[in-house]
Chains A and B, each alone.
Chain A
Amino acid sequence: MASIAGEAPYEERSLFVRKATGLVRGWSVQDAFIYAFFSINLITLGLYIFASGPFIPKGSLMLAIILSGAYLVFQTIVYAALIAVMPRAGGDYVWVSRVIGGGIGFTLAVCGWWFINWHWVPIYANILAKEFFQPLGAILGWSGFVSFWSEPKGIFTASVITAVLAAVFISIGMRGYAKLQKLCFYSGMAGLLIIFGLLIFHSKNEFIAAFNHYAHHTYHSTSANPYADTIAKGTYPHAGSLGGVAFGSTLLLIPMIAFFNLWSNWGATLYGEVRGASDFKKNIGAMAGALIATTLLAVILLLLIAHTMGWNFYNSANNAWWGGTDQLGGVWPYPVTLASFFVSPWLQFIVILLMSLWFFGWVGTVFLTASRVIFATAFDRILPEWAARVDRRGTPYFAILIMLGPSLIISYFYAYNTTFTSWTLDATLVIAVTFLGSTVAAGILPWRKPEIYNASPIAKYKVAGIPLITAAAALFLAFLGFCIYKWLSDGVYGSNNHDSLIYMGCLYGVALAIYVGSRIVRKRQGLDMSMVYGEIPAE
């Protein structure tokens, strides 16, 4: 605001924009928030991994969620800054290949977004089986149907359903998927509010009665008091300590929690021209907003679980399930199922359906980012031209095939071969290593690409004289370094498996071989691949 002496104040105009293609008014933070919110999915990834809390018995699950959620805001700053400097489709691949180098960029992006997501398909499928098919089957009294989803053929069937659903969502395109996600978001949130309501307005005694009733009637428990027996068989020291501050153990829970809250940047590549500093802030707002909102919801849900079900019961139920001594016939004690015990079976059915939208609005994420990486690498001529081909309806059928086909093969081995299952334990680690590459690229970007960085709206942000992007990258690197070190060194996460490391190493080897092979083939074709990334001098 400025004014000229003697005249009324006027709004000083800092920009005169003429009519031109692409000039838009902006975008809604809420829309971007939904995608990030579904990526760090409280109901699917969150509840699934919270069940592993008993493996670090002294740690405070709630404190670990709060600490990691707060710290991961640095991750959102790193990615929002990368988007502001280089707003290009392809995300991690483009940033690392342009800042560090093509070979590293390709290897990290292809492993972290494409190859490893084949292995995430059976993980998603496990969640689908545990949060959708089994609870619904139990309500309907189909005991054979319930047990089917725990068997190899059930896991494989769920993997096929997951992979086909993700492929269909890519086929309908982001436009259709965004609409579906919005529907799932609002309906899923309505479902969560119902769960909150059920937990708020019922007492612990009512829960004990309801649990005992349905453990007998729906899950055929033979115990006289399934609630008490669940605690008796599953309890462990500190199981009832909701807010314990065994700080060291709580920190150890963070690499476990990362399975759930490390993904706010999943849809980091925005389309459209970045207009200025406000877009940078809006990107942080969307990603950090989703992270904080999800963290708060997680805390509320856990507090309500503790209030109505009992914290000792919740942990004991999970521990008993892991130990095979549970009272629900081997079915995972899905908190949504437990909370729905307050209402009639038909209402339980509706609640489970409503809450399944957290899965169906999320399942497309397993392939969507991969398809962008496949496209970006094909356009850089590393992958063959056909990898980015689309049909007349715009469907990227080859990209879908090279996601779908291998994911089904891997799902088959995952379901039927326990040795192979153990090889896939490093699925989170591989994506974290990709983030590590992008974070290093972000940290050195002001020096590696000074012209592009200085022309960006984030160049003015500094912390103690250090570019904000570098400071945030250093802090996020510390987080990733800690998690990766713990995953590799501590058996509690189940990921320091020697065979798994060799297998994942082979995936990196394959990616590197594709890159090197592509360079050789292109050279024979007379194509100098250094031209893809080499900067033209401006002067």
Chain B
Amino acid sequence: MRLYFATDVHGSETCWRKFLNAAAHYKADVLILGGDMTGKALVPIIHDGGDNWHATLLEVRTEMTTEEEVAAFEDRVIRRGYYPFRTDPVELQRLSEDEGHWHGLFQEKMLETVEKWMRMADERLGGTGVRVFCCPGNDDQFEVDEIIDNAKTVELAEGRVIDVDGFQMVSTGWSNRTPWHTYREEDEPDLSARLEKAISGVTASPERVIFNFHCPPYRTGLDDAPELTEDMMLKDAGRAVKPVGSTAVRAAIEAHKPALTLHGHIHESRGNCRIGRTLCINPGSSYEQGDLLGAVVDLDGKKKVKRFLLTSG
């Protein structure tokens, strides 16, 4: 079986499109998206009256005077993983002053996009026989699960043991605690209990088991993230890195010795390592650049993973 794994696309439509095309590109039987599908920011495109619009992306202000220019700008925003919306100064001020209001808009745009992505998957991969799994990550709101669960082509993987071509895959997008207090994070003992509960459903032998856990195992080089100061600045300009992975994930891998584990969460920590015979992969993420980082893995059910490559597509 050949699987393709990518993760942390964070709303980048370019990355999602590439992900769907990865099956044909890499001749993969299975596509797995590791989590954190949704974007982090809303970008207002402000109507200044008449044909005039303006907006700011990456701290660069753009003035627009035609519908084509506005549409092109929206496309740039979407490709980067943010959600554009058209507004006027009055509405923008109202949004700015009402957190609940803009959070509502955020959720609406986010869920709209996930729904659109599910439809794109149906169009591109429906009937091809390629299985596609998504497991929302700690940055994804819980409402995302329902949309994926209702999708035709994409299958929801969270918390389930799924049979894939003679292998069993256990997935969760939950992580240990982060400084951002995201949607799916918990203390290590709770995460350990969650993992063990999911793993308890596994019946295959270890060499036929895949763990798809969003959070990487602790101190493996797959979990080195920049250290932060108390006021959330990158310490030493991002050069001071420290391991932030999960001890519970590491313990689960050491105890159950699956053939392969797939992770994300820490975008900067692209790489692979071994814990015993288990191959652990975090392909990293460059979603903002529209560069889909991934991993192609061939499994044959023997003691070790047959072969793998980290890709940059």
Chain A positions within 8 Å of B, measured between CB atoms, are 2, 4, 7, 10, 12-29, 31-32, 35, 85-89, 98, 173-175, 178-179, 182, 267, 270-278, 286, 375, 379-381, 385, 388-390, 392-394, 396, 451-452, 454-457, 460, 525-529, 531-539
Query: Mask for B55-98, Cβ within 8 A of A = 1, else 0?
Result: 11011110000000000000010011010000001101101100
Tell me if A379 and B237 are in contact (CB < 8 A): no
Q: Smallest CB–CB gap between B92 and chain A, Å?
A: 7
Partner of B290, one of A25, A389, A451: A451
Is A537 a contact of B221 with CB atoms below 8 Å? no
Taking CB as reference atom, which chain B residue is nearest A381? B309
The docked-state distance in angstroms from the alpha carbon of A215 to that of B73 is: 72
Task: Enumerate chain B residues within 8 angstroms of A529, measured Cβ to Cβ.
Answer: 309
The smallest C-beta distance from B127 to any residue of chain A, in angstroms, reads 20
Binding site for A on B (CB under 8 A): 10, 14, 17-18, 21-22, 25-26, 36, 40-44, 46, 55-56, 58-61, 76, 79-80, 82, 89-90, 92-93, 95-96, 102-103, 105-106, 138-139, 178, 180-182, 219-221, 224-228, 231-243, 265, 267-268, 270-274, 286, 288-292, 296, 298, 306-307, 309-313
When chains A and B are docked, how far (Å) is the Cα of A501 from the Cα of B253?
Answer: 50
Contacts of A18 in B (CB 8 A): 40-41, 103, 106
Contact: B311 with A390, CB < 8 Å? no
Residues of B with C-beta under 8 A to A88: 270, 286
**Are B58 and A270 touching (Cβ within 8 A)?**
no
Q: Which of B40, B56, B79, B267 has the most CB of A within 10 A?
A: B40
**How far is the CB of B216 from the nearest CB of chain A, in Å?**
12
CA distance A309 to B306 in the complex (A): 69
Q: A16-B42, A24-B234, A381-B310 are in contact. List 7 more A-B contacts (CB 8 A).
A: A12-B89, A13-B96, A35-B239, A173-B241, A271-B268, A394-B221, A452-B289
Known: A88-B286, A174-B241, A267-B239. A536 touches B178 (CB 8 A): no
Q: Which residues of A contact B224 (CB under 8 A)?
A: 394
Closest partner residue, chain B, to A94 (CB atom) = B312
Do the beta carbons of B55 and A14 come within 8 Å of each other? yes
Q: Are B56 and A14 in contact (CB under 8 A)?
A: yes
| 7 closest Cβ pairs, A-B complex | A14-B56, A32-B237, A536-B313, A276-B59, A178-B236, A27-B234, A457-B58
Partner of B289, one of A85, A393, A531: A85
- A527: min CB distance to chain B, Å: 5
What's the nearest-Cβ distance from chain A to residue B135, in Å?
15
A10 to B220, CA, bound (A): 47
Question: Which of B36, B61, B93, B180 is close to A19, meaning CB atoms less than 8 Å apart?
Answer: B180
Bound Cα distance A534, B293 (Å): 11
* In the complex, chain A residues whose CB is within 8 Å of the CB of B95: 13, 16
Q: Do A16 and B272 form a contact, CB below 8 Å, given A28-B237, A178-B239, A538-B14?
A: no
User: Which of B95, B291, B307 has its CB near the most chain A CB atoms (within 10 A)?
Assistant: B291
Q: Which residue of A lies closest to B107 (CB)?
A: A18
A10 to B96, CA, bound (A): 10
Give, as a whole number of angstroms, the nearest-CB distance from B268 to chain A. 5
Interface centre among A29, A271, A388 (most CB of B within 10 A): A271
Given A17-B41, A275-B58, also A535-B239 (CB < 8 A): no
How far apart are the CA atoms of A506 and B271 in the complex, in Å? 30
A392 vs B14: C-alpha distance in the bound complex, in angstroms?
Answer: 37
User: Can you name the residue of chain B whose Cβ is closest to the Cβ of A13?
Assistant: B96
Contact present for A455 and B289 (CB under 8 Å) = yes
Contact A13 B44 (CB under 8 A): yes
Bound CA span A53–B296, Å:
55
Complex CA distance for A258 and B182, rounded to whole angstroms = 48
Residues of B with C-beta under 8 A to A15: 41-43, 56, 82
A385 to B240, CA, bound (A): 25
Instruction: Flag if B106 contacts A538 (CB, 8 Å).
Output: no
**In the complex the two chains form, is A388's CB within 8 Å of B272's CB?**
yes
- The answer to whether A394 and B219 touch (CB under 8 A), given A85-B289, A381-B310, A538-B14, is yes
Are the C-beta atoms of B79 and A28 separated by less than 8 Å?
no
Residues on A with C-beta less than 8 A from B56 are: 14-15
